[in-house]
Structure 1
Amino acid sequence: MSLLDRFLPVALLLGSNVFMTFAWYGHLRYKSAPLLTVILASWGIAFFEYTLQVPANRLGSAVYSAPQLKGMQEVITLLVFAGFSAWYLGQPLKWNHWAGFALIVAAAWLIFLD
């Protein structure tokens, strides 16, 4: 397996998670926007998330198992969300959030053990 085979799925998952995080949480800055508007906007953003996520899992399945891909995706999601929460939402994570996320990272690490 080449480095590209190993890291392209990770890069695609990273990109898809940026779109996913905006689709799921970006509307929280616009609480006065009508709910239907933010639902439709989120679906539009989610389209781009899927255009990266599906190839990430398809290509990644040649290198990683499905549980490994899911564990990797969860860790990437947490990292993207941590930055997004602080930067975009102005809600930096507290110690207990980091501690909870660390437990999830530990669980994902276990998935990669033989």
Structure 2
Amino acid sequence: MPPLVLKIAPWALLVASNIFMTFAWYGHLKNKSLALPVAILSSWLIALPEYMLAVPANRIGSGMYSTAQLKVGQEVITLLVFILFSYFYLGEAIKWSTIAGFGLIVAGVAVVFYFR
């Protein structure tokens, strides 16, 4: 694969995997009348494609990035996907304290990437 693809592919795959995982973990909250066993089973079925994206993302990414960089990058992706999901899918307001807290996490990510 060309070097640019190797740099971008892990992040694109992690974005896709996080979208699946966010729906697996939190999607059932929109319909709380759904029986818990059904919510669990459907979450597991949604999580399968997440793993099918996350594992190759980390395998490909490990040739270009450290494990710590992949992990903290994944956390930033998770936060961004979660903010969009909770606002657009669950209809929840985004509070300043949520943005501030997530900003502190992003600052930690910057430290990991800057001092590698």
Query: In which range does the TM-score fall when normalised by the shorter chain?
Result: over 0.9
- Cα offset for 1:92? 2.4
- Cα offset for 1:55? 0.2
Q: 1:2: which partner in 2?
A: 3
Q: How many residues align?
A: 114
Percent of residue pairs bearing the same amino acid type: 57
CA deviation digits over 1:52-97, x for unaligned, max 9?
0000000000000000000000000000000000000000210000
Amino acid at match of 2:97: N
- Cα offset for 1:113? 1.7
C-alpha RMSD of the superposition: 0.8
- Cα offset for 1:2? 1.3
Q: 1:23: which partner in 2?
A: 24
Pairwise mapping of residues 11-90 of structure 1 onto structure 2 (< 5 A)?
11-90=12-91
Amino acid at match of 2:67: A
User: Aligned to 1:112, what secondary structure does the other structure show?
Assistant: helix
Amino acid at match of 1:16: S
Q: Which segments of structure 1 move beyond 6 Å, counting only runs of 4 or more?
A: none
Amino acid at match of 1:47: L
**Structure 1 residues without counterparts, runs of 5 or longer:** none
The answer as to whether partners of 1:16 and 1:48 remain within 8 angstroms in 2 is yes
Q: TM-score, normalised by structure 2?
A: 0.96
- Cα offset for 1:8? 0.3
CA distance in 2, matches of 1:43, 1:73: 20
